[in-house]
Structure 1
């Protein structure tokens, strides 16, 4: 089996004065002060979607690792857009196969150094570069089209989607690490700025700066570092283009089918709510709600108690590592915000539009 023995998470915010290395260093300090003993990892994996285009940084895994004082270790960066689930799968596979006993996962992305105009340009690199990107379509526009199709198919109005940002801001208001620590009401959401009709600013995950580090080990060495390690029971993934004509996320459905039925009780979920419409579809694809009613069940689930990408903040390719740390904290009763008394944790990581998805299952 594979275990998580510790993590470090920075508060998500705008850090104009700090570099990616500075943010990782802060998270790393938290990790090494929390575990019982520390020695160097066999492998370091940096999960980042945009450190090259936004940070002008190539060979970032070496630069970050050496900045932490690490020597005699293997290093790599995994780029999978905003989907850091690939990094978790890689760490899990290294340990499960016996290639390594200790893997340090690092999640990092930084958005505040550029105006939104430039950030949105880089985010559009996730789209098809032969056709879509060059005609000016953005992920925001795609999600707006998906929302329109959903509204028509299920005969719901925009107020249906306000349930998600209201809930996420409520959760974030209790999370000391959240970027947007304030509550909102329906009137605020409905009257907020239109991004791409009907998508509004409160439907969009809040891009921020931040870092996370998670130490993953083989079971036989886990208790050297922490008395109550959390198990990674498994991780699955799949691909499939999101369906505009019949709003759905095939990649999530295929990953979920590999796992079978998912629990609704005694479990904490962290999903990739890049947009309110994505949250609705993800909940439905996980079969936690009927089609067209995904956001009607948010009060009955322990889901995105952190505030999610919407309000806790969204650090691109580092997000899944941050979620992994948060669920570890929930399952070890260390989470400082709204918490769940859960036996299991499930993380759904995907890109902005759900074309690639990973599902990880954790347990006490």
Structure 2
């Protein structure tokens, strides 16, 4: 099996964009190719991570269109849809195409165009990933988040303020991310007094609706230095994907995300690292409670202790384990198909030392992209080339 390098990475501005999906994909794709010093003609495979271009925009065939726009024909193309984990699934597909030896140069572009739809319309599209019986009864992901947050707070005697501190931390990190949708500080009082969405979660516990795109270029490590210098590429040392029950209430413990735990175990074993080796992590904080659940199921903290780590400053940018230095989905934004790719973009920059004012001391980075409420998960470990 080939070892896989990321030789190019890019991310567009996230937020409300006056551009359609196809334009966003081209913007990120061209930037990643330029970062890797390759052209579209060099690509063997081209993947597009996208959840709902047809539902949001009435646009299908986006991967084929992108191959045309990037002059990448006759590259093989495919669209990767794994709901809100489409980006992570795309990273897996791109890694697999190179690791298998089938492709010598692969481009992954993840993107979504969402803000032209109302909040109600966007929420309905996203809710379609739930089980049909749950969907019929009006269940949405925010409702799952509220129920789980209440259960977590009561089970582990966690203060409501600890969830608010996740939002405060991630907004503070987003201030230094030029691509983030929300580049503003918020204080704890603002978070705790914002409107209730799904008790006990309030408006500032949720990520926004977002347009945006991100991209990665992958090749075998054995030829990476033909494109870029050794300090300009990183290695996907471990990657794992897993699923959990589609019906959330069938899980033995609502506060345990089996897909996170299982995908991480695969990625750690492949990379020959453990949770204690990770220097920086990007977690899927679509809701603040998810940062607690993932940080525990990834093995960073004991079960029920994720909230204490936030209270103690462990996950701050200057803490022992910085989490969501990009601002996370909470501040950076969540264009569904792009989010998992943008998470890896952040850890790539942290590991290669190009994260600017967000930079932390990192040799090993981890990204965890979650679909639905843990229905499907991809965990990726990234390390420096040296």
Deviation digits for residues 267-300 of structure 1 (CA, Å, limit 9, x no counterpart): 2111111111111010111121122221332233
CA shift at 1:237, angstroms? 1.5
**Aligned residue for 2:123?**
120
Distance 2:38 2:90 in 1: 24
CA shift at 1:337, angstroms? 4.0
2:259 to 227, 238, 251: 251
Distance 2:119 2:83 in 1: 18
Contact persistence 1:49–1:318 (CA under 8 A): no
Distance 2:34 2:253 in 1: 51
Does 2:90 match 1:90? no
**Aligned residue for 1:236?**
240
**Aligned residue for 2:7?**
5
**Aligned residue for 2:373?**
353
Deviation digits for residues 307-331 of structure 1 (CA, Å, limit 9, x no counterpart): 0000011111221111122211112
**Aligned residue for 1:54?**
56
The TM-score, its normalising length taken from structure 2, stands at 0.90
User: How do 1:157-306 residues align onto structure 2 when only pairs under 5 Å count?
Assistant: 157-228=159-230, 229-241=233-245, 242=248, 243=251, 245-258=253-266, 259=268, 262-264=274-276, 267-297=279-309, 298-299=315-316, 300=319, 301-306=321-326
Q: What is the number of equivalent residue pairs in this alignment?
A: 362
Q: Cα distance 1:246–1:28, how it changes in 2: closer, same or farther (>3 A)? A: closer
Contact persistence 1:176–1:337 (CA under 8 A): no
CA shift at 1:198, angstroms? 1.1
Gaps of at least 5 residues in structure 2 are 310-314
Deviation digits for residues 94-132 of structure 1 (CA, Å, limit 9, x no counterpart): 111111111100000111110101000001011002x00
Contact persistence 2:284–2:368 (CA under 8 A): yes
Contact persistence 2:8–2:34 (CA under 8 A): no
CA shift at 1:257, angstroms? 2.9
Give the root-mean-square deviation of aligned CA atoms: 1.6
Contact persistence 2:366–2:381 (CA under 8 A): yes
Distance 2:213 2:84 in 1: 14
**Aligned residue for 2:355?**
335
DSSP-derived class of the 1:269 partner: strand
Contact persistence 1:103–1:216 (CA under 8 A): yes
Contact persistence 1:11–1:179 (CA under 8 A): yes
User: How do 1:32-43 residues align onto structure 2 when only pairs under 5 Å count?
Assistant: 32-38=33-39, 39-43=41-45
Q: Cα distance 1:239–1:32, how it changes in 2: closer, same or farther (>3 A)? A: closer
Distance 2:36 2:298 in 1: 34
Gaps of at least 5 residues in structure 1 are none
DSSP-derived class of the 2:235 partner: strand
DSSP-derived class of the 1:357 partner: strand
Contact persistence 1:203–1:275 (CA under 8 A): yes
Contact persistence 1:36–1:224 (CA under 8 A): no
Contact persistence 1:166–1:185 (CA under 8 A): yes
Q: Cα distance 1:344–1:253, how it changes in 2: closer, same or farther (>3 A)? A: same
Does 2:26 match 1:25? yes
Distance 1:151 1:183 in 2: 25
CA shift at 1:37, angstroms? 4.2
Q: Which contiguous aligned blocks of 4+ residues in structure 1 show a shift greater than 6 angstroms?
A: none
Query: Which structure has more helix as a fraction of its residues?
Result: 2
Q: Cα distance 1:79–1:124, how it changes in 2: closer, same or farther (>3 A)? A: same
Distance 1:67 1:54 in 2: 21
